[in-house]
Structure 1
């Protein structure tokens, strides 16, 4: 039976969880599939394209490609998408590192267009709308990269991070110690996401004013 692209991607994701991104080589993947390395290049041109396909697969269930966001509630679906992407990437070892630097595949572009259409309907210009999407995506990637590194390193530390005695003469840090220790990743992620969204609310109002009220800040 001929090797199928979906099988290659599924196997690559399994190896990612087992070996991490450093251990995911085309030679290792070919051996796992029982083929010679050149056979893989019928399905992707290089490792970068393989990572693009893996990133797409990670998000496929969390973010159905046929979703239709609406301009009336853009902050809600931006936030929901961001949370779904974060959880999808956290489900895989080195998930954020795989996704970093990827470009949308041809299959993903219609979903990006639908998001841009909704944001433009809310009052943004296309360039600003795309910047919003990229800004949120890069926030997610940076956050999950740090979160996965933190979680991975927690077992190695083996003791309380920033113990109370270390903060005893630092009253401001002591008051904010729970944030410093990253005890609630969900709450901290949502805080940064909300600040980003509120910033773009202001940008919608500014662009609407510049175009004579052609768009509405929502």
Structure 2
């Protein structure tokens, strides 16, 4: 039976969910598939290349399902789908953050997001900047959320940010752990914010 790139990426994603990014190796992917290591390298020439393919696979379908017509709701919907895709995999945000992907699913998503802002009457530069801002905000917040899950939540930060030493931080700390609300708030600021002067 022939082995294709999709099978390699699927095996890598399964291993990611089981063991996390730090323990994912090309050798373990080969062992999972029952093939020689060079067979995996034939389909993904290096671990960074494998991570690119994994990152792209995570975004499959993000831009394909029907989207709302109003441009701002379209942008919000795409941001929610992006976050859901990252959260669907263990260390998903870390995988994507470490890549610079020029593959089909990633480009389709970026095109749909940029198109939403262009439809809202933004110029090319502003549409691009808002797309990047929304993607990077979502990626960074999701990385933080997944990291917090990995250490058992926000408790270490809550203990460290005492009112005596960090009064301003302590005053807002109760809101830090609500990642869903933080996400919605940030998306709203980016989508509906005023155009920045260049």
* Residues 106 and 189 (structure 1), Cα distance of their counterparts in 2 relative to 1, 3 Å cut: closer
Query: Is the Cα contact below 8 Å between 2:12 and 2:54 reproduced in 1?
Result: yes
- Aligned pair 1:76/2:66, yes or no? no
CA distance in 1, matches of 2:146, 2:44: 27
- 5 Å matches for 1:121-160? 121-154=119-152
Aligned counterpart, 1:2: 2
Specify every segment of 5 or more residues in structure 1 that has no aligned partner in the other structure, as ranges. Answer: 208-218
Query: Is the Cα contact below 8 Å between 1:44 and 1:50 reproduced in 2?
Result: yes
Aligned counterpart, 1:21: 21
Q: Which has the larger radius of gyration?
A: 1
Which aligned runs of 4 or more in structure 1 are off by greater than 4 angstroms? 66-70, 168-175
Aligned CA-pair RMSD: 3.0
Query: Is the Cα contact below 8 Å between 2:55 and 2:101 reproduced in 1?
Result: no
- 5 Å matches for 1:166-185? 166-167=162-163, 175-179=171-175, 182-185=176-179
Q: TM-score, normalised by structure 2?
A: 0.82
CA distance in 1, matches of 2:121, 2:154: 48
Shift of the alpha carbon at 1:193? 1.5
Equivalenced residue count is 197
Q: TM-score, normalised by structure 1?
A: 0.76
Specify every segment of 5 or more residues in structure 2 that has no aligned partner in the other structure, as ranges. Answer: none
Shift of the alpha carbon at 1:141? 1.1
